[in-house]
Structure 1
Amino acid sequence: MAEAHQAVAFQFTVTPEGIDVQLSHQALTEIYRSGVRSWKKRIIRLKNSVITGVYPASPSSWLFVVIAILATMYTRSDPSMGLIAKIQEHMPVSPTMSTQCQAVVSAVLFSTMLWLLLIFTMRLCLKQLLSYHRWMFEQHGKIAVSHFLTISFTALVRIFSGRKPLLYSYQGSLPNLPVPTIKDTLKRYLESVRPLMDDAQYEHLTNLAAEFENSLGKRLQWYLKLKALWASNYVSDWWEEYIYLRGRNPIMVNSNYYGMDFLYVTPTPIQAARAGNSIHAFFLYRRKLHKEEIKPSRIPGTVIPLCAAQCERIFNTTRTPGEETDTVQHWQDSDYIVVYHRGRYFRLRVYQAGRLLSPREIEFQIQRILDDPSPPLKGEAKLGALTAGDRIPWAKARKAYFSSGVNKRSLDYIERAAFFVTLDDDEQGMMGDDPAASLDCYAKSLLHGKCYDRWFDKSFSVVYYKNGKNGINAEHSWADAPVLAHLWEYTLAIDSFQLGYNAEGHCKGDVDSSLPRPQKLSWEIPPECEEQISQSLAVAQALADDVDFHVFSFRDFGKGKIKKCRVSPDAFIQMVLQMAYYRDQTTFCLTYEASMTRLFREGRTETVRSCTNESSAFIRALEGGETADVCRRLLRAALEKHQQLYRLAMTGSGIDRHLFCLYVVSKYLRVDSPFLKEVLSEPWRLSTSQTPVQQAELFDLVNYPEYISCGGGFGPVADDGYGVSYCIVGDDLINFHISCKHSCPNTDAHKFGAQVRQALLDLMQLLNPKQKEPNKTEESRPEIKKDL
């Protein structure tokens, strides 16, 4: 093969005349360019680490301080109050250094120490400012002392934030996640379960909680406080390990989630062209990520930054199986992706001579893979099923059959790739005579596919369908959905609005036809491994077949009309879901809404328990035929309660992460707590999450309203429950993704979707924006979580 020959830098043979050395100029040039590219990246990383290390100051400010101090020396004033002279006294005597030179060096040393002290002070001030969260609880429309405090707080954050922060600039200034008091957590917990229990059950749990608080709880809390002093975040590492990596069930459906393409538009019907543009856009994002040119995420409408630690593992990351626990492995860089098509795996380099291939060149390479007629090797076609089944069999198979030789080399290519790509022969999207049903099939395809044509261990896998549609499947342990959604929004926008396509639907630009062909990976799969692949596929297929999915768009109204009612859109939808579940099941259930704690360093998520005393009282009143005025008053109280719980969760005063960590400590100490055991065994029969729109500025919904992503979704958490993801797009559209299991006779995704539609209409009828404006005392506070 030509590319194999070009890959050899030099050859030598021993002849009777001596040693004959043949150098390959092209290969040496490639080595040189690769080295230059590597060193450029190292220099960029070093520069960024320096800038981030001295933030919120800048490296150039050091020179300003030095010049200022030196200038004072010539005016015969001493701002150091004798410290410069002290430094000069303790400097080693050098015959080559004059007294004046020693004075200058002493002044430079003093200036540097003063500069570092200023940086430390500024960073400490910024950290204290970012630890202030009372602005989030301020009542809207009221002139009070707290209002002026918030204005001052915002101005000070702007001052101490510098002018052009890099992606990771705020990391050293973010506060640590605080440990709530046992008393507060237990009080909020008991309040959250009250609507789910009768008097006898509640009294029993109250007694367990009191016993726990007065005995074991204090001991466990002491260990948590000790960890909080030592670690950046007392929750995140345990959350990643025990909730994700130690799970032994399949991660497909149970953990992984997906994101969809545009709802109404397919930029090109050519599969290879769509892949060419978006793969190029992915690597543009990675380049910005490496250079830290991505702006730090903030709470929308504020100057408050969010933690960016999860961004570090977006690319070149995989989850590797273990018999007891999995691990997340991340590599610094890779210049290729791995592509799956019709049972074959290909390694596709996206860099040539140190430059990123153009979209047209990537399209050309993808088309080569599509046109490749070679059949899969023995055992290769359904190899990906190992990542879809149970984790222990996959860990054992990986150790037995993929730890050496050609299998290890090919597996390394997959795991070290920037990300994984599947070229799917199916057509998906909103199409055909039944577009609603086609969306359901689209969701199931992205969530699990054929159970062997995705690599579920990769940080994310991109799927390109035959008709030009695409989508993304993501592994959950390394980061949460908003991090990947940020990348996905960027890719969709760059693909359609910047790169674009020519009149024939192909990527723009020219192509170098001499590019080396994508490398087909080799495998040697023994019969024993094939048997394990079949077993894993059977487990995964049964799980996939059991998933019932329903995706729909609600267009009667959206965020705009809800806000006119002076309520939070998210709280409104959460109340809709509570009502829909009650009508569907004639009871209430423990409800999970994902909130973020990225206001703190290395923060991930917290739970908002959306089923409250206030929400259940409102729903009972509405379903019981109470008057509209009574129901409206109860609804506003329930909405306000939900917003309050969300604020508490965001600011480190949530319930579930604290109880989870107390449980982990109890296991380390080998002590049993009846209270914690009962708390952690409660099922989340309604698990909900909002898919955020974080970069609305990338999409022109006024001139191009059809360029709307449908959001994403996930599988049900409980076997007898629902998983609901919703995406609030613009002012007039809400997308819903509902999942449950066919094996449960009491759940049906389509019936629940119908209940959601009706509940949306019923609540809006109750909160008609044309009605008399509510009193000031009933006004909801600012919606601090919109589109998070």
Structure 2
Amino acid sequence: MILSRLGKHQAKNVRGSVVGAIRLKSSSNEYDYQFIQKSRLPSNHFQKSLPRLPIPKLENTRERYLNAQKPLLGEGSDAFNATTKHVDDFVKGEGAKLQEQLIAEDKANKHTNYISGPWFDMYLKDRVPLPINYNPILVLVNDPKPGYNDQVIRATNMLISSLRILKSLRAGILAPEVFHLNPKKSDTDLFYTVTGLLPSSVSWYGAYLFKAFPLDMSQYGNLFNSTRVPCVGKDKIVKNDKANHMLVMRNGNFYVFDALDKNGNILPPSDLLACIDYIAKNASAASEFPIGVLTSENRDVWAKARQELEAQGNAEVLNIIDSSIFNLSLDDEAVGSNREKLLRSYLHSDGANRWFDKSFSLIIGKDGTAGINFEHSWGDGVAVLRYFTDMFKDSTNKPQVHPDTKSNFDAANHVRKLEFKLNDSIKKSIAEAKRKHAEISKSLAFDVLEMHNYGKKLCKKHGVSPDSIMQLGFQVGYHKLSGKNVATYESCSTAAFRHGRTETMRPCTMATQAVCNALNGSNQPSNAELLTMIKKCSEVHGNLTKDAAMGQGFDRHLFGLRRLAEQKGALPAIFSDPAYAAINHNILSTSTLSSDIVMAGAFGPVVKDGLGIGYSIMNDMLGAIVSSYPPNNNGAGFVSALKTAYENIFNVLETANKS
């Protein structure tokens, strides 16, 4: 099943979805071990001329917000009328003043956008633990060549491909990310020639003439050598572009070695293989006091424990971890075909062999199963997916080490084990972190839906959006389970804008509510009528998606206005209205990413009584991985209702197809 999670809700986990990207062509087909590609255009060629994220008009946000509230509150209900009054009072009064202030701030910071800074702060100020709450996972399909799924061989090949991406990034020759509306017309030599001749300050406009849209590249800078460091009240992101060492974790122990030589060149493949092999074969027994589990703690608790660690003489060791290129976790367990074991291993594990603060950790099981767990404050799905895809394809298509590769490299003198100085207080903190992490992890449940013979083909045949059908299924399924419509989140990338992150798309609409009532009610309309209703859902969904991708949603706008109001110390009634709290309490948190290299993806619910839904729809298959915290919500019951929902929806499409 191909599933992933790159989206979360407005106030907590936000994972951007990729709107589409075609790689720019390299200047040469010659293989260069040091670089994964040598782009004809510099990595940041379009960055200066990217359009800025627009601030929506207050009147438009009013309309979009109220439209999203209608299916939740009931159009014409007392609750909806009260919310409408709060919104109208806001637009006519304090909202207009806050809008002027927001526009003024935006004009004074033309290097970024109005939401970027506050969005970083939102992430970094939240005190909840990172695993499950924030860090998502993506698990790769196996290498098609069985012998290359050996843990050490696969780890080495993936490390080398990662280093080739790192070197290309540092040299500024990793191809810019570009969305081509019609690749046959724009992904051409003429496109690269014309846009390459244009200065960076106007290059975006040249791309636009080809109907090609460059995407923001600012997040790529934090992909490597980056870590989120806990601080009381608000964390910080630290980065060291000069560091050339790798961090490898095994049995809760930490090992480092230089992956690049003194000239910045990637070590020979056999040397890197020797280092990984040495750690795999000579790693110490499981650490009695695994420091890594502290990164699963509440952020303030971890911040204070880290301060104590530094006071005990561990500052240098922590700095080595923070500045490492990335974390490679070699697990001592094979997950095999056990889906729940796989999801738990990569999403949370027991925390001992993880450093959840790193920008990302590449985790490779004993059987060679590989995936990443990534920290989310530094960026969204565009950069992560680009790395993940390029790394996988390069490591499988151009492996540098093989089952018969030998090495005489003296890894024992190149690999260093990091040692911590621990007092009784720190040991107690580790024990408490292990207990709490185990308790939270145990409370999480996974339920999986996989349905064959349903997919994009039938959707496209009837001119309905596959994504709208998936989202409609979630609405119908949850309505069947609970008898109500609830706040639903779908992530949409705004990477087409400078420093763009994400916008929320609200899939629960009056159109989906009508289908819920029809399919789950006693008086079901004809299939012809249902087909018309389903097509209406697709139309509405498509318009909402376009608005969100163009920065014309309402969630980020209200988030920015609320921040300004809080700074003034007077919160307008629109934000204290229970309806505002309810729509941001996302019971259904959803996101999708279809990729032929991704085996599975998962994330935790964003609220205790919610469901986390990673989903995918292929040509003839659809599926979802659903996480929940029983008994706060019923993931198993939802999956059962969801299956029925899709059977009913596709029955309408199939019946209409035959008529």
1:124 alignment partner in structure 2: none
Query: What SS does structure 1 have at the residue aligned with 2:177?
Result: coil
The structure-2 alpha-carbon separation of the partners of 1:557 and 1:265, relative to structure 1 and needing over 3 Å to count, comes to: farther
Aligned match for 1:315, one of 217, 224, 228: 224
1:715 alignment partner in structure 2: 604
Alignment of 1:408-419 (within 5 A): 408-419=315-326
Structure 2 residue 49 is the aligned partner of structure 1 residue 173: yes
Contact 2:156 2:401 in 1 (8 A): no
Query: What SS does structure 2 have at the residue aligned with 1:473?
Result: strand
> Based on CA coordinates, which of the two structures has the bigger radius of gyration?
1
Equivalents in 2 of 1:442, 1:475: separation in Å? Answer: 19
Letter in 1 for 2:315: K
Alignment of 1:422-571 (within 5 A): 422-430=329-337, 438-499=338-399, 502=402, 505=403, 508=405, 510-513=407-410, 516-571=413-468
Q: Deviations over 1:291-332 (max 9, x none)?
A: 233322233544111111111110011001111111111221
- TM-score for the superposition, normalised by structure 1: 0.71
Cα offset for 1:578?
Answer: 1.3
The structure-2 alpha-carbon separation of the partners of 1:516 and 1:643, relative to structure 1 and needing over 3 Å to count, comes to: same
2:29 alignment partner in structure 1: none
Aligned match for 1:233, one of 88, 110, 113: 113
Q: Which runs of 5+ in 1 are unaligned?
A: 1-135, 137-162, 431-437, 694-706, 774-788
1:759 alignment partner in structure 2: 645
Equivalents in 1 of 2:501, 2:298: separation in Å? Answer: 26
Q: Deviations over 1:589-648 (max 9, x none)?
A: 111000011111100000000000011012212223111111111111111001100101
1:182 alignment partner in structure 2: 58
Aligned match for 1:277, one of 157, 171, 177: 157
Query: What SS does structure 2 have at the residue aligned with 1:289?
Result: helix
Query: What SS does structure 2 have at the residue aligned with 1:765?
Result: helix
Equivalents in 1 of 2:370, 2:48: separation in Å? Answer: 37
Q: Deviations over 1:434-493 (max 9, x none)?
A: xxxx11221111110112221010000111111111111000100012321111111111
Cα offset for 1:192?
Answer: 0.6
Q: Deviations over 1:408-427 (max 9, x none)?
A: 11111111001111111111
Contact 2:275 2:411 in 1 (8 A): no
Cα offset for 1:551?
Answer: 4.0
Query: What SS does structure 1 have at the residue aligned with 2:214?
Result: coil
1:681 alignment partner in structure 2: 581
Q: Deviations over 1:128-149 (max 9, x none)?
A: xxxxxxxx9xxxxxxxxxxxxx
Equivalents in 2 of 1:677, 1:429: separation in Å? Answer: 49
Contact 1:195 1:616 in 2 (8 A): yes
Letter in 2 for 1:427: A
Q: Deviations over 1:244-265 (max 9, x none)?
A: 1111111111011101020695
Equivalents in 1 of 2:131, 2:415: separation in Å? Answer: 28
Equivalents in 1 of 2:145, 2:343: separation in Å? Answer: 16
Contact 2:245 2:256 in 1 (8 A): yes
The structure-2 alpha-carbon separation of the partners of 1:562 and 1:385, relative to structure 1 and needing over 3 Å to count, comes to: same
Structure 2 residue 132 is the aligned partner of structure 1 residue 253: yes
Aligned match for 1:202, one of 75, 80, 83: 80
Contact 1:443 1:551 in 2 (8 A): no
Cα offset for 1:534?
Answer: 1.7
1:262 alignment partner in structure 2: 141
Equivalents in 2 of 1:473, 1:266: separation in Å? Answer: 24
1:220 alignment partner in structure 2: 98
Larger RCO: 1 or 2 (CA < 8 Å, sep 6+) = 2
Query: What SS does structure 1 have at the residue aligned with 2:491?
Result: strand
2:89 alignment partner in structure 1: 211
2:557 alignment partner in structure 1: 658
Contact 1:182 1:221 in 2 (8 A): yes
Q: Which runs of 5+ in 2 are unaligned?
A: 1-18, 20-38, 183-211
- TM-score for the superposition, normalised by structure 2: 0.84
Query: What SS does structure 1 have at the residue aligned with 2:591?
Result: strand
2:202 alignment partner in structure 1: none
Contact 1:252 1:388 in 2 (8 A): yes
Q: Deviations over 1:336-384 (max 9, x none)?
A: 111111131111221245431244332221121122254467x6x4211
1:385 alignment partner in structure 2: 293
Equivalents in 2 of 1:562, 1:286: separation in Å? Answer: 40
Equivalents in 2 of 1:200, 1:760: separation in Å? Answer: 33
Cα offset for 1:728?
Answer: 4.1
Contact 1:557 1:732 in 2 (8 A): yes
1:724 alignment partner in structure 2: 613
Contact 2:142 2:149 in 1 (8 A): no
Aligned match for 2:634, one of 724, 747, 750: 747
The structure-2 alpha-carbon separation of the partners of 1:266 and 1:622, relative to structure 1 and needing over 3 Å to count, comes to: farther
The structure-2 alpha-carbon separation of the partners of 1:374 and 1:509, relative to structure 1 and needing over 3 Å to count, comes to: closer
Equivalents in 2 of 1:397, 1:202: separation in Å? Answer: 47
User: What is the RMSD computed on CA atoms of the aligned residues?
Assistant: 2.3
Structure 2 residue 500 is the aligned partner of structure 1 residue 600: no
Q: Deviations over 1:383-431 (max 9, x none)?
A: 11111011111111111222563x111111111001111111111142x
Equivalents in 2 of 1:196, 1:373: separation in Å? Answer: 55
Equivalents in 1 of 2:460, 2:175: separation in Å? Answer: 28
Equivalents in 1 of 2:177, 2:283: separation in Å? Answer: 46
Contact 1:594 1:606 in 2 (8 A): yes
Q: Deviations over 1:137-175 (max 9, x none)?
A: xxxxxxxxxxxxxxxxxxxxxxxxxx9432211111111
1:24 alignment partner in structure 2: none
The structure-2 alpha-carbon separation of the partners of 1:673 and 1:358, relative to structure 1 and needing over 3 Å to count, comes to: same
Equivalents in 2 of 1:648, 1:670: separation in Å? Answer: 31
2:527 alignment partner in structure 1: 628
Query: What SS does structure 2 have at the residue aligned with 1:593?
Result: strand
Letter in 2 for 1:497: N
Letter in 2 for 1:191: N
Letter in 2 for 1:270: D
Cα offset for 1:206?
Answer: 0.9
Equivalents in 1 of 2:260, 2:78: separation in Å? Answer: 67
Alignment of 1:287-436 (within 5 A): 287-299=167-179, 301-302=181-182, 303-352=212-261, 354=263, 355-372=265-282, 374-375=284-285, 381-403=289-311, 405=313, 407-430=314-337
Query: What SS does structure 2 have at the residue aligned with 1:351?
Result: coil
Q: Deviations over 1:549-586 (max 9, x none)?
A: 23454332333332222122211211121112112222
Identity rate, percent: 27
Alignment of 1:85-164 (within 5 A): 164=40
Contact 1:177 1:600 in 2 (8 A): yes
The structure-2 alpha-carbon separation of the partners of 1:183 and 1:348, relative to structure 1 and needing over 3 Å to count, comes to: same
Equivalents in 2 of 1:281, 1:657: separation in Å? Answer: 36
Cα offset for 1:692?
Answer: 4.8
The structure-2 alpha-carbon separation of the partners of 1:353 and 1:245, relative to structure 1 and needing over 3 Å to count, comes to: closer
Contact 1:565 1:769 in 2 (8 A): no
Contact 1:339 1:346 in 2 (8 A): yes
Structure 2 residue 581 is the aligned partner of structure 1 residue 581: no
The structure-2 alpha-carbon separation of the partners of 1:755 and 1:708, relative to structure 1 and needing over 3 Å to count, comes to: farther
